[in-house]
Structures are given as C-alpha cells and as structure tokens.
Structure 1
Amino acid sequence: MSLKTGDIVPNFTAKDSHGEVFESQSVLGRKPLVIYFYPKDNTPGCTTEACSFRDQYEDFKDLGAEVIGISSDSVKSHQKFAKKHQLPFILLSDQDKRIRHIFGVRDTLFGLVPGRVTYVIDRNGVVILIFDSMNAAKHIPKALETIKELVL
C-alpha cells in the first residue's frame, strides 16, 4: 500500500520520544498535519531538517498545524535527539517500519537509506501534498507554504 494525494490517512500507533503510545486519531481529522519521515537521528541532513522544523514550529502552530517526525530510530535515540536539539514537536519511533510501509515511503540509494518524504494532511485527514526529496532543506518551506494555502 502506498498513500497518494487525495487518500485518507489510516490510523496508526507508535511510541513517542517519551516512551508513550501515540495514537494518530488524537490529531488525524482534527487539525492540519505535517508528517515527515527521515532516515536517521543525529545525521547531518536529518539534524538540519529537524532544526529547521523546530525553528519554524511556531509558524506551523500559529496556523493550527502539528508537526510529527518519524524514523526507525529507537525511543531512546529520539529522546536524546529531541533533547540535544530542543525539538518541540512529536517524534515517533517506527522500528518495525510499519508506519513507513503504510505511507509507502521507499528506501533510496539501492535500498540502503530510508527515504525522506514529507506529507501534508488537511484537517479531514486527507493527504494534500507528498514531497519526496533527499534535500532536507526544501521540505520545511514546501510544507509551510502548503499549510498556509490550506488555512488562509
């Protein structure tokens, strides 16, 4: 399965960086979402991307949107990553790659590196943008622009 623009995001659960169970229905269909999948905590591109989302987080919140980062790193790794970089948004651990599979995020570089894909989802839970690029810096402005178009 692979989500496409216009699809409704199915419910999913995962552990967040505090070790708590996060249930997607707590936000899906309630507010616009930016869900971004990234390869690995504490790597240069992923740190740049996470810190850029952090720096623009208030802009997303002001528009009523929530940001969620997902990788296959452990809860402990996410905990350290979030603390080190003061990340204010939700990080989810997808160690079994189940959520990545639901969304259809493919590996890159001959299957060696997990893909970097950002999804923008409207308040009804419908995918309105899928942005697939290994260039970490391009995801944040693209997501913010799409959220602005949604709510303004």
Structure 2
Amino acid sequence: MVLKVGEKAPDFELISNDGEKIKLSNFKGKFVILYFYPRAMTAGCTREGLRFNELLDDIKKLNAEVLGISSDNVEKIKKFAERYDFKFKLLSDSNGEVIELYDVKKKESSNLTAERTTFIIDPNGVIVKVFQNVRPAEKHADLSLAELKKLVNQG
C-alpha cells in the first residue's frame, strides 16, 4: 500500500548522480518533491525531468527541493543528469530498498522498476500530497509546483 498523506516519510540514504550520499532527513526544514520514475533515458522520464528542471527556480523559491529516484545504477543516472543538465539530484535505488519502502514498485513488472509516483513532503518530514499513476505528458511537474504553492500559502 502506497504511503498516504499524513504519514511520516520514511528516511533513506542513496547515492546521487554526483556520487554524494543523500539522506531524506538532510532536507528537514524544507519541502521535498520526491518523484519516482521508471528508467533514465526514456522519453517519458526525460520529459518529466526536463520540466522539473525548467521549474526548479520557482520550486526553490518556495523552500523546496526536487529529488528523482529510479532503480537505475549510479553510472546511468549520472549520464542522464549530464546529458540533460539536470540541476536537481537523481538518486540510484539499484537494490530497490526505497522503492519497496515507499511501495511504488511497478506491479506488472518482474524486474525492479518504480511506478511513476510523486510525494510532496513537508518541512517536518510528513507526506502532504501523493500523485499516483503520473503521466509526464500531463504536466505533472506543473501540478507539483501548483500544489506546493497551495501548501506554502496555507502555512
């Protein structure tokens, strides 16, 4: 069962595209848009990443960070980030621990692939929004930014 609004976001530590160890808890005090995507270098995942990249300045102005997670290895996400000049961190969950922890494994897939799912996590580490079955063509990054704006204006 995918984690729900109001639940504490499980902490984790993964290696980023630049080889840095990243913990979710390092972002306490900020909003985090945590998005899971199936595979680097595919059309939908590229479109989704590029749009988050375009909106990153607006997202950062709202005291928020973007983290993308897939089961790709570090070398693949490094190439992906470099090719498209992503300014946010991509994280490698090659053993699938975080994908399992957040229960976003693609159900019909025999290999370890994440279902497109996005969590918005508040500065206290609580999940405040979940987008499931995301379609990159539906301007998902824009919806995430709009939701973040609503959340910030409520606070």
8 Å CA contact 1:2, 1:101 repeated in 2: no
TM-score (norm 2): 0.91
Structure 1 regions of 5+ residues with no counterpart? none
TM-superposition CA deviations, 1:18-57 (whole Å, max 9, x none): 1121122110x31011000000000000000000000111
Please list every run of at least 4 consecutive aligned residues from structure 1 whose deviation after the TM superposition is greater than 4 angstroms.
none
8 Å CA contact 2:25, 2:125 repeated in 1: no
Match of 2:109 among 100, 108, 111: 111
2:18 alignment counterpart: 18
* Aligned residues between the structures: 150
* 2: CA distance, partners of 1:114 / 1:127: 18
2:150 alignment counterpart: 149
1:66 alignment counterpart: 65
CA shift at 1:134, angstroms?
Answer: 4.1
Letter in 2 for 1:105: V
Structure 2 regions of 5+ residues with no counterpart? none
TM-superposition CA deviations, 1:96-142 (whole Å, max 9, x none): 1111111111305x225531001111111111111012411332122
8 Å CA contact 2:16, 2:92 repeated in 1: yes
TM-score (norm 1): 0.93
8 Å CA contact 2:37, 2:68 repeated in 1: yes
Q: Secondary structure at 2:56's aligned position in 1?
A: helix
Q: CA RMSD in A?
A: 1.4
